[in-house]
Chains A and B, each alone.
Chain A
Amino acid sequence: MAKYDYVPSPFMANSIVKWVDHRLPIFSLIDHELIKYPAPRNLNYLWNFGSLAGIMLVVMILSGIFLAMNYNPSTAGAFDSVERIMRDVNYGWLIRYIHMNGASMFFIVVYIHILRGLYYGSYKYPREILWWLGIVIFIAMMATAFMGYVLPWGQMSFWGATVITNLFSAFPIVGEHIVLWLWGGFSVDNPTLNRFFALHYLLPFVIAGVVLLHLWALHVHGSNNPLGIDAKGPQDKIPFHPYYTAKDAFGLAVFLIFYAYFVFFSPYSLGHPDNWIEANPLVTPAHIVPEWYFLPFYAVLRAVPDKLGGVLLMFGAIVILFLLPWLDTSRVRSARFRPVYRVFFWLFVICCLVLGYAGSQPAEGLPLILGQVATIWYFAHFLVFLPLLGWFERPLPLPASIAEPVLGGGKSGTVAASKPMEKA
Chain B
Amino acid sequence: MRTAKLLIASVLAFGLGIAAASAAETPKVPTQKWAHTGFFGTFDRAELQRGYQVYKEVCAACHAMHQIRFRNLAGIGLSEAEIAALAKEYEVTDGPNDEGEMFQRPARPADRFKSPFPNQQAARAANGGAYPPDLSLIAKNRVGGENYIYALLTGYKETPPAGVTVMEGMHYNEWFPGHQIGMAPPLSADRVTYADGTKATLEQHAHDVSVFLAWASSPHLEARNSLGLKVMLFLFILAGLLYATKRKVWRNIKH
A and B interact: yes
For B17, B66, B141, B143, the residue with the greatest tally of chain A CB atoms inside 10 Å of its CB is B17
Is A277 on the interface with B (CB-CB < 8 A)? yes
Verify A250–B246 contact, CB threshold 8 A. yes
CA distance A111 to B227 in the complex (A): 30
CA distance A238 to B254 in the complex (A): 11
Tell me the chain B residues, 5-32 only, with Cβ under 8 Å from chain A.
Answer: 6-7, 9-10, 13-14, 16-18, 20-24
Q: Kindly list chain B residues whose C-beta atoms are within 8 Å of the C-beta of A374.
A: none
Contact with B along A263-290 (1 / 0, CB 8 A): 1110111100111110000000011010
Q: Kindly list chain B residues whose C-beta atoms are within 8 Å of the C-beta of A143.
A: none
Q: Kindly list chain A residues whose C-beta atoms are within 8 Å of the C-beta of B229.
A: 264
Is A357 on the interface with B (CB-CB < 8 A)? yes
Is B188 on the interface with A (CB-CB < 8 A)? no
Q: Which among A42, A250, A253, A357 is the interface contact of B17 at CB below 8 angstroms?
A: A357
Verify A406–B255 contact, CB threshold 8 A. yes
Verify B246–A246 contact, CB threshold 8 A. yes
Q: Kindly list chain A residues whose C-beta atoms are within 8 Å of the C-beta of B23.
A: 360
Q: Which among B72, B224, B236, B253 is the interface contact of A87 at CB below 8 angstroms?
A: B72
Interface size on B, residues (CB 8 A): 52
Q: Kindly list chain B residues whose C-beta atoms are within 8 Å of the C-beta of A112.
A: 10
Stretch of A254-262, A319-327, A386-394 lying at the B interface: A254-262
Verify A274–B141 contact, CB threshold 8 A. yes
> Knowing A46-B7, A83-B67, A246-B250 touch, does A264 contact B232 (C-beta < 8 A)?
yes
Chain B residue nearest in CB terms to A273:
B141
> Knowing A265-B225, A267-B224, A274-B141 touch, does A256 contact B235 (C-beta < 8 A)?
yes
The smallest beta-carbon distance between A395 and chain B, in angstroms, is: 17
Is B35 on the interface with A (CB-CB < 8 A)? no
Is B184 on the interface with A (CB-CB < 8 A)? no
Q: Kindly list chain B residues whose C-beta atoms are within 8 Å of the C-beta of A274.
A: 141
> Knowing A46-B6, A286-B177, A287-B24 touch, does A264 contact B141 (C-beta < 8 A)?
no
Verify A362–B24 contact, CB threshold 8 A. yes
Is A206 on the interface with B (CB-CB < 8 A)? no
CA distance A104 to B1 in the complex (A): 27
Q: Which among A247, A254, A264 is the interface contact of B250 at CB below 8 angstroms?
A: A247
Q: Kindly list chain B residues whose C-beta atoms are within 8 Å of the C-beta of A253.
A: 235, 238-239, 242-243
Chain A residue nearest in CB terms to B231:
A260
Q: Which among A94, A97, A357 is the interface contact of B20 at CB below 8 angstroms?
A: A357
The smallest beta-carbon distance between B177 and chain A, in angstroms, is: 7
Q: Which among A116, A250, A252, A286 is the interface contact of B245 at CB below 8 angstroms?
A: A250
Is A249 on the interface with B (CB-CB < 8 A)? yes
Q: Kindly list chain B residues whose C-beta atoms are within 8 Å of the C-beta of A406.
A: 254-255
Q: Kindly list chain A residues whose C-beta atoms are within 8 Å of the C-beta of B162.
A: none
Verify B18–A249 contact, CB threshold 8 A. no
Tell me the chain A residues, 335-371 only, with Cβ under 8 Å from chain B.
Answer: 336, 346, 349, 352-353, 356-357, 360-362
Q: Which among B7, B16, B21, B228 is the interface contact of A289 at CB below 8 angstroms?
A: B21
Contact with A along B201-220 (1 / 0, CB 8 A): 00000000000000001011
Q: Kindly list chain B residues whose C-beta atoms are within 8 Å of the C-beta of A346.
A: 9
Tell me the chain B residues, 139-176 only, with Cβ under 8 Å from chain A.
Answer: 140-143
Is B103 on the interface with A (CB-CB < 8 A)? no
Verify B254–A407 contact, CB threshold 8 A. yes
Verify B239–A356 contact, CB threshold 8 A. no
Is B195 on the interface with A (CB-CB < 8 A)? no
The smallest beta-carbon distance between B249 and chain A, in angstroms, is: 4
Q: Kindly list chain B residues whose C-beta atoms are within 8 Å of the C-beta of A407.
A: 254
Q: Kindly list chain A residues whose C-beta atoms are within 8 Å of the C-beta of B20.
A: 353, 356-357, 360-361
Is B119 on the interface with A (CB-CB < 8 A)? no
The smallest beta-carbon distance between A141 and chain B, in angstroms, is: 17
Q: Kindly list chain A residues whose C-beta atoms are within 8 Å of the C-beta of B9.
A: 346, 349
Is B104 on the interface with A (CB-CB < 8 A)? no
CA distance A46 to B137 in the complex (A): 40
Verify B225–A264 contact, CB threshold 8 A. yes
Verify A292–B17 contact, CB threshold 8 A. yes
Is A119 on the interface with B (CB-CB < 8 A)? yes
Q: Kindly list chain A residues whose C-beta atoms are within 8 Å of the C-beta of B10.
A: 111-112, 115
CA distance A357 to B224 in the complex (A): 31
CA distance A238 to B242 in the complex (A): 19
> Knowing A45-B7, A253-B238 touch, does A243 contact B140 (C-beta < 8 A)?
no
Chain A residue nearest in CB terms to B238:
A253
Is A295 on the interface with B (CB-CB < 8 A)? yes
The smallest beta-carbon distance between A348 and chain B, in angstroms, is: 11
Verify A349–B13 contact, CB threshold 8 A. yes
Q: Kindly list chain A residues whose C-beta atoms are within 8 Å of the C-beta of B219.
A: 87
For A264, A275, A357, the residue with the greatest tally of chain B CB atoms inside 10 Å of its CB is A264
The smallest beta-carbon distance between A268 and chain B, in angstroms, is: 6
Is A139 on the interface with B (CB-CB < 8 A)? no
Is A36 on the interface with B (CB-CB < 8 A)? no
Given contacts A93-B220, A257-B232, 15 further A-B contacts (CB under 8 A): A87-B67, A93-B223, A246-B245, A250-B243, A253-B239, A253-B242, A253-B243, A263-B228, A269-B22, A275-B141, A289-B24, A349-B9, A349-B13, A357-B16, A407-B254
Interface residues of B (CB under 8 A from A): 2-3, 6-7, 9-10, 13-14, 16-18, 20-24, 39, 66-67, 72, 133, 136-137, 140-143, 177, 217, 219-220, 223-225, 227-229, 231-232, 235-236, 238-239, 242-243, 245-246, 249-250, 253-255
Interface residues of A (CB under 8 A from B): 41-42, 44-46, 80, 83, 86-87, 93-94, 97, 108, 111-112, 115-116, 119, 226, 238, 242-243, 246-247, 249-250, 252-254, 256-257, 260-261, 263-265, 267-270, 273-277, 286-287, 289, 292, 295, 336, 346, 349, 352-353, 356-357, 360-362, 406-407
Give me 30 A-to-B residue pairs in the complex whose CB atoms sit less than 8 angstroms apart, sorted by A's number. Answer: A41-B253, A42-B255, A45-B7, A46-B6, A87-B72, A116-B6, A226-B3, A249-B245, A252-B242, A253-B238, A260-B232, A263-B228, A264-B225, A264-B232, A265-B225, A267-B224, A270-B18, A276-B141, A276-B217, A277-B141, A286-B177, A292-B18, A295-B17, A295-B21, A346-B9, A353-B13, A353-B16, A353-B17, A353-B20, A357-B17
